[in-house]
Amino acid sequence: MKKIAVFCGASIGFNSIYQEDAKKVGTFLAENNIWLVYGGGKIGMMGALANELLAHDGKVIGIIPHLLKNEEVVHSELTELIETKTMSHRKVAMSKLVDGYIALAGGFGTLDEIFEALTLGQLGIENKPIGLLNTNAFFNPILQQLDVMVQEGFLKQVNRDMVLVSTSIKDLIQQMHTYKAPTMSKVVNTVVKK
């Protein structure tokens, strides 16, 4: 993988472990020559991640919608900054650039972006790996909800299995490298495991 979109919070959270792991991700991506594609902010988890990558001579592409672009938010030292008209256009621009997606701790925006990527994978529109860096068991309640969705018949196990999870960025990237997307059959809502 050459470019990975990372979704994470514009806040830093209350526990320093989240920022520490964001920095570990930044260092790992830079050391492995993987470009970061992200929301373009200089604050919160996004800022910690981008700053660490840049400090290690990594490449960072920020994609920010016009409505969020102001001097208090936008990162001014990126390798490249792409401005879009809307949030939806930002997602499309990210999708065109990246080989996979990772979510770190964050809020509504982080969940929106990672679940849209999962939906595209479920529908077979994209076949890219999607990972959650589960720092401090942050995503455990969401993973439990996904299991409930399978148990209650609203999500197929093969689609649940699309969600790659680890507490280690090195392990998560390894899982992403070996990921095999489910194959969609010609019958709607039927998935065939390769």
Domain that holds residue 55: 3-192
Average pLDDT over residues 82-88: 90
User: Residue 73: what pLDDT?
Assistant: 82
Mean pLDDT, all residues of the chain: 92
Q: How far apart, in whole angstroms, are the C-alpha atoms of residue 29 and residue 6?
A: 11
Nearest by Cα to 69 from 80, 51, 84, 54: 84
CB 74 within 8 A of CB 41: yes
> What CATH number is attached to the domain comprising 134?
3.40.50.450
pLDDT in tens, 35-67: 999 999 899 999 999 999 999 999 999 998 887
**What is the number of structural domains in the chain?**
1
CA count, 13 A, side-chain hemisphere, 1: 27
The secondary structure element, H or E, covering residue 63 is strand 60-65
